[in-house]
Amino acid sequence: MSLFARIKGVLRRDRLDRDLDEELRSHLEMRAQDNISAGMNAGEARYDAQRRFGNTTLLKEDTRAADIISWLDTAARDLRYAIRMLRRSPGFTAVAVLTLALGVGANTALFSVVNGVLLNPLPYPHPEQLVTLSESKPNFDTGSISYPNFRDWQKDNHTFTSIAIARGYSYSLTGLGEAEQVRARFISSDFFTLLGVNPVAGRTFSQGEDEIGAAPIAMISAGLWKRKFGSSPDAVGKSLTLDGRGYTIVGVFPANFELFLRNSRAADVYVPIGQWNNPLLRERGAGLGVHGVGRLKPGVTIEQARADMDQISRNLAAAFPVTDKGISAHLIPFRDDMVGNVQPILLVLLGAVGLVLLIACVNVANLLLARSTGRTREFAIRGAMGAGRGRLIRQLLTESILLALSGGGLGLLLAQWATRAVLGVLPAELPRAAEIRLDVHVLMFTAAVSLLAGILFGLVPAFKTSHLRLHETLKESGRGSSGARHRAQGVFVVLEMAMALVLLIGAGLLIRSLAAVWSVAPGFRPDNVLTFSISLPPSMVNASPAAIRAAVRDLDDKFASTPGVQAVSLSWAALPLSGDDDEQLFWLDGQPKPSNENDMNWTLDYIVEPDYLRTMGIPLHRGRFFTPQDNEHAPLVVVVDDVFARKYFGNQDPLGKRIILNATGRKAEVVGIVGHVNQWGLDSDNTQSLRAQMYIPCMQMPDAFVAMVPSGMGVVVRSDGTAPELLNAIRRTSQQMSVDQVISGVQTMNEVISDSLAARRFSMILFGVFAALALLLSSIGIYGVISYLVGQRTHEIGIRMALGAARSDVLRLVLGHGLRMTFLGVVIGLAAALGLTRLMANMLYGVSPTDPLTFAGVALILALVALTACYIPARRAMRVDPIVALRYE
């Protein structure tokens, strides 16, 4: 019947009832009339008419059966029946619902992460037009864009609506309550308009305001606006003192605005890039951590834009060979740049958590199968009373969907809690973490997953059960003919074991990877080392280089004499594993100066003080490290690491050799060789092309550099471990010097390392949790099936024992069964894992995706757990009393 007719049926149910009543009445009357004409008396006539009809209610039921109303009626009846059945066996219901809740909960939690990070569109209009821009250089695919190059890109391109650049910075904010360090970002004027972000008050920067030498203006975040100005509209036009200089506030940008552009973090203040007092800004060859974003013109593809930018790069290389030879623009779709790194990890995790759900489903299907055996007689009787096969399947499906939805509801609660937990272990650099929440999509996902799960695990038992031969079942008192069901349960358990093994192996490989990464020596001793940044009082910003040097020395002395401090050093430029890096170009003394910068040598540079080596615990291999005498008046000296020494001096002795630094053109003598430190990441340092390291004494840096020091410098401190309150002591020391001197970004070096492994830990923890869930569920599964079999075979076991079987024989019988399933599951699981772990090769470190030790160890663990799960029911079987068992029937 068409759906339309059914719906019509609903709408006219009342009328239908009335029509039917009246029609039947008229029929009865006509029949009675005829009967009277045929000679019956009135009573007889009516009785005969009625009798022919039989049960009028049943007739009406039958007549209406085709209507959707009755369909709904049946559904409601099924539902009531299902609720009654589930309430009658609370233990079964609880286990099933909990199992499903775990599966659905884990899936929902992870899906909400995937949804927030990968699926939701970026919160900008036409996000597909956005691309990130970088300079591709010999050592960096996505290197910094120089300001002059940016201006030429902006001027010469034909494929972008506009392009903009940004660079993170940190300012001392004074004059508004207590002095504080605020995160800032230098941007070009088009930045906000390009993204399509409108200010909530005031305006954005306009053309020309981002040029070097323009008037100082700033935009502030809605958060800072609220905190410092009570969100008053008057704030626009007021002055903001940053590093001692007044910036006129022109606008406020929205609170939730956050843009991830390569290492940059959410900022409270935006300032036109021309305001940056860095003298290198005008240098075409400078790498200052500036990255770009562009919006393609409508209809322009990224390939067209790449071709366009390649042409521009070629022109620039021809015009400025010294700086631009070998440099080209690098374009990546914005979304890929943002989530490209995490996408494969999240997808692997999603696959893993999907397996957990599958295991949960299989488990519940098994429970249902086991239970349906107990209900065989119930179904046989219902069948005998005329219920069709479809009717029985429908009843069973109603029960399983009810279970699934209950599990899903509970799972949603679990997910809400789990999502918070997941957010807790999220790597800080996970993009778009703020957008992760339970939204409509997540709810729909959960509902769909639950329904699907319900149908999935309900279907097999439903078909099996409805496939009964009625009289046989009734004859056999509901005990026999369940061989097919045993087989299905066995298959389920084997599958479950296999899936759990795959997950366990995945988790094992990740754990071993993390352990391998942790055991990588970082090249320094991170224990008891604290790192933070400090900015001098704004009054120092325009002070003379000599005064700044004096202030830095004073700071050094004061910190060094703070109780509990063993050693202290300033640290500029690069800091190991922190994500901050800096490079210098140089060539060897005695060689001609390379004609362009890209033919020069690159090295990481660390601008530090004499105690740096002692503070960080880096070993000195040869020569000496810096002394206080390596100051602004002494000849320039540098210390290099073994990688540098090997790479540039080979077998020669580097000590006493000289190099020429491109930035200043000055000659420096190599006075010492130290150990290599792990700059890029414990797991990735070896694979980087730029690994040579060079140390320069802070005090020997040129005046132009020293002038930038007051606005912020890094400090590393080694404590003797006896002063738990070291940080407070340091803060006090700093406050005593000046209240406008701000300390921020405090981290122990161990935290720095641990943060650098956050992504790895994130996937390991989640994978581990999923694998543990899988192990738990599958051992419950095998336990359930074995218990069930023991229960079913009590009679048989009794007979065996009566015939003389020993207890150990019974134990062997039952354990043997479990062992066979486990063995099959392990074999299939190992084979599947061999194929699947390859997918996670990128997440592994120091361990092969088919690591035999992990495979064997995990398989052994699984087998042991499974056997333990079998042993409990096996013991019960062993204690079967033959007399009781035989009498039991």
- Residues at the interface with other proteins (CB under 8 A): 1, 5, 9, 19-20, 22-24, 26-27, 29-31, 33-34, 52-55, 58-59, 62-66
Give least dist CB 26 to other proteins, A: 5
DSSP 274: G
Give helix 440-466 / helix 90-114 axis angle, nearest 10°. Answer: 140
Residues with Cβ < 8 Å from 820, sequence gap 6 or more? Answer: none
Single-letter residue type at 522: P
| Residue number with CB closer to other proteins (27 or 479) | 27
| Beta carbon of residue 6, minimum distance to other proteins (angstroms, whole number) | 9
**Tokens coding 764:** 């390991």
**Dihedral (CA of 518, 523, 528, 531) sign:** negative
**Residue 335 Cβ vs other proteins, minimum distance, rounded to whole Å:** 53
- 3-state SS of 626-650 is CCCCCCCCCCCEEEEEHHHHHHHHC
Report which DSSP code applies to 298: T
Our CB check for other proteins shows the closer of 35 and 837 to be 35
Nearer to other proteins, 66 or 521 (CB): 66
Smaller CB distance to other proteins: residue 20 or 95? 20
Question: Helix (H, G, I), strand (E, B), or coil: what is residue 566?
Answer: strand
Minimum Å distance from CB 65 to other proteins?
7
User: Shortest approach of other proteins to residue 11 CB, angstroms?
Assistant: 14
**DSSP letter (8 states) at residue 119:** I
CB of 42 to other proteins, least distance (A): 16
Burial of 234 (0-12, 13-18, 19+ CB in 10 A): exposed
Residue among 97, 102, 94 at smallest CA distance from 777: 102
Nearest to 574 by CA among 730, 747, 716: 716
CA 399 – CA 801 distance, rounded (Å): 39
| d(C-alpha 333, C-alpha 559), whole Å | 47
Rg of the chain over all Cα atoms, to the nearest angstrom: 38
| Rounded least distance, CB 23 to other proteins, Å | 5
Supply angle C-alpha 851, 853, 856, rounded to 5: 105
| Residue 202, φ and ψ in degrees, nearest 5 | 70, -145
Which token pair is 142? 């996505």
- Closer to other proteins by CB, 64 or 306: give it: 64
**What CA dihedral angle connects 576, 578, 579 and 583, to 10 degrees?**
-30
Q: With respect to other proteins, which residue has the nearer C-beta, 48 or 755?
A: 48
Q: How far is the CB of 69 from other proteins (least distance, A)?
A: 13
Beta carbon of residue 35, minimum distance to other proteins (angstroms, whole number): 12
Nearer residue to other proteins within complex by CB, 28 or 118: 28
Give the shortest CB-469-to-other proteins separation in angstroms: 24
The answer to whether the beta carbons of residues 564 and 720 sit under 8 Å apart is yes
Residue 25 or 314 having the CB closest to other proteins: 25
The nearer residue to other proteins, 31 or 245, going by C-beta atoms, is 31
**Residue whose pair of structure tokens reads 């990890």 in the numeric block:** 345
Least spacing, CB of residue 18 vs other proteins, in Å: 11
CB 240 within 8 A of CB 537: no
Residue 20's SS3 state is helix
Which uninterrupted H or E stretch holds 658? strand 658-661
Nearer to other proteins, 53 or 587 (CB): 53
CB 316 within 8 A of CB 324: yes
Greatest CA separation for the chain: 140
Could you tell me the smallest distance in angstroms from the CB atom of residue 29 to other proteins?
7
> Cβ closer to other proteins: 61 or 653?
61
Q: Which CB atom, from 58 or from 831, has the smaller least distance to other proteins?
A: 58
